[in-house]
């Protein structure tokens, strides 16, 4: 079965994301933001944001790498 653009029906045998003929999206995306939100990564609640100086950040990174 040959792939075709969902807009202009131009053959898309190479499987390009955008149609080489009309320039629109050649096929429907199998992924949506809803799929991300129901995944384990989308459910994470342990993300913490903090302010840190560059010197402290470098020091902490070196401790993690060389520990």
Query: Is 28:6 a contact under the CB 8 Å cutoff?
Result: yes
Q: How many domains does the chain have?
A: 1
Using pLDDT thresholds of 50, 70 and 90, give the confidence band for residue 1. Answer: low
Count CA atoms closer than 13 A to 5's CA, side-chain side. 16
- pLDDT value at position 62? 92
- pLDDT value at position 49? 73
Q: Which tens digit of pLDDT belongs to each residue from 4-51?
A: 998 899 998 888 889 989 999 888 877 666 655 566 655 666 666 778
Domain that includes residue 44, residue range = 1-67
- pLDDT value at position 28? 81
């Amino acid at each position: 079965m040959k792939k075709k653009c969902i807009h202009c029906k131009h053959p898309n045998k190479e499987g390009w994301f955008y149609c080489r003929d009309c320039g629109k999206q050649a096929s429907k995306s199998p992924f949506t933001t809803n799929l991300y939100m129901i995944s384990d990564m989308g459910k994470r609640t342990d993300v913490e944001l903090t302010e840190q100086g560059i010197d402290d950040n470098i020091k902490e990174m070196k401790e993690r790498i060389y520990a």
